[in-house]
Structure 1
Amino acid sequence: MMYGGDGWMWNGGWGWGGWILMTLVMVAFWGLVITAVVLAVRYLAGGGSHHNRAGGGSAPADSRAENVLADRYARGEIDVDEYRQRLTLIRETR
């Protein structure tokens, strides 16, 4: 009998230290469970993608196109006239 007259749980057990340890372990366990649930909900609700979230949201497609165009111009792949023409085209099709 584990909980009988001389059972380890009540007489001669870990005493208060055991109860404190069990309490801390349970708090840590439930903290991990709650954290896992919150992360799972955020992952599923957000579609699972964590990139392109600088500034709280993803950049619109036209803004990304402008960035790519600016990078090409900065690398010298296109000249200023082509840059302006394409930038105008991108902004007109919004």
Structure 2
Amino acid sequence: MMYGTDGCMWGGWGWSGWILMGAVMVLSSAALITAVVLAVRYLTDSNAQRNRADSASSSKSEDALAQRFARGDIDEDEFRRRLTLLREHQESR
């Protein structure tokens, strides 16, 4: 049988069994909550890095276009037209 000498099931741990069970429940709950928080942070950080990379590439394109305008390679109308096209292309992604 599984009864201890005092008639309790599993040897009768008394208060120490309850304390141990409570500690295990608290620790497992903390581990689960930590795992969920870390997963959410990882997923949102991945999206943020992707968005930063997209905005960095668009600013590089706009900087290159601004430099061409500053050097006089293109006139103001051409600069504005190309800048509008760049921004429309970035919005459609």
Tell me which interval the TM-score lies in, with the shorter structure as reference length: 0.3 to 0.5
Higher helix share: 2
Q: Could you state the TM-score of these two structures normalised by the residue count of structure 2?
A: 0.42
Given the two structures, how large is their TM-score scaled by the length of structure 1?
0.42
